């Protein structure tokens, strides 16, 4: 049996991290956080109260923008980013991480790591802004889907621009948008209305704008 030299394996790991480091870091933060909370939920460690505390301190609470009392001074600002690294359970995490890896690879090939990080961050903030502007929910909002819809927005925006420059029809772009709208409607119905569509909309629009600002490498 042939064995690959250890230095080649190490080089491959390093090269992979160099190519996909931002996505890997986001993946690890989200996954590690949920695994810790899963362990506390099942009394493997810590306390069953950990998930509730994580949501209290890191979730996006619409009321904190009105007259609610924050748990710490910076919470009304920090929550615009921290919500994106918490999830509502393993299935929620799984769906989002699969989407992150799929979209992340496409984005990194087109813009590189730093521009990807900028688009992701702006989409994350845009998702929170959308929820803040459109939602009246009293429960916390968590999940990376706002930023992920932002990645979809950036990719869709690039496709729209490319088709306009090539004087081609934008039918495929409209179909993608229609698919995303339909997906949200189905999820909203399946989840009994417990879907932060406002976050998805805000993230998508922010991602589209960020993608226009942070251009592709070959543009």
The CA-CA-CA angle for residues 50, 75, 117, to 5°, reads 90
CATH class, domain 6-213, is: mainly alpha
- pTM reported for the whole predicted model: 0.90
Bridge partners (DSSP) listed for residue 141 = 60
pLDDT in tens, 95-148: 999 999 999 999 998 899 999 999 999 999 999 999 999 999 999 999 999 999
Structural domain boundaries in the chain: 6-213
Cβ-in-10-Å burial (0-12, 13-18, 19+) of 219 comes to exposed
Known catalytic residues are: 145, 200
Q: Which contiguous run of DSSP H or E holds residue 24?
A: helix 6-41
* CB proximity list for 3: less than 8 A, separation 6 or greater: none
Write down the pLDDT at residue 6: 56
Residues in the chain, pLDDT under 50? 218-219
């Amino acid at each position: 049996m042939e064995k690959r030299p250890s230095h080649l394996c190490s080089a491959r790991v390093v090269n992979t991290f160099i190519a996909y480091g931002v996505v890997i870091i986001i993946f690890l933060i989200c996954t590690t956080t949920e695994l810790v909370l899963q362990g506390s939920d099942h009394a493997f460690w810590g306390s069953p109260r950990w998930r509730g505390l994580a949501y209290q301190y890191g979730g996006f609470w619409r009321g904190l923008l009105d007259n609610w009392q924050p748990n710490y001074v910076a919470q009304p600002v920090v929550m615009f980013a921290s919500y994106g690294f918490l999830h509502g359970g393993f299935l929620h995490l799984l769906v989002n991480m699969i989407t992150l890896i799929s979209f992340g690879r496409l984005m990194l090939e087109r813009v590189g790591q730093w521009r990807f990080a900028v688009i992701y961050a702006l989409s994350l903030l845009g998702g929170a802004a959308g929820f803040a502007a459109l939602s009246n929910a009293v429960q916390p909002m968590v999940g990376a889907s706002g930023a992920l819809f932002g990645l979809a927005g950036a990719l869709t925006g690039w496709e729209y621009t490319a088709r306009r420059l090539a004087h081609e029809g934008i039918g495929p772009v409209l179909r993608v948008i229609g698919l995303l709208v339909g997906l949200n409607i189905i999820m909203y119905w399946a989840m009994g209305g417990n879907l932060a569509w406002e976050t998805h909309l805000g993230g998508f629009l922010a991602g589209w704008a960020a993608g226009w600002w942070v251009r592709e490498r070959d543009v």
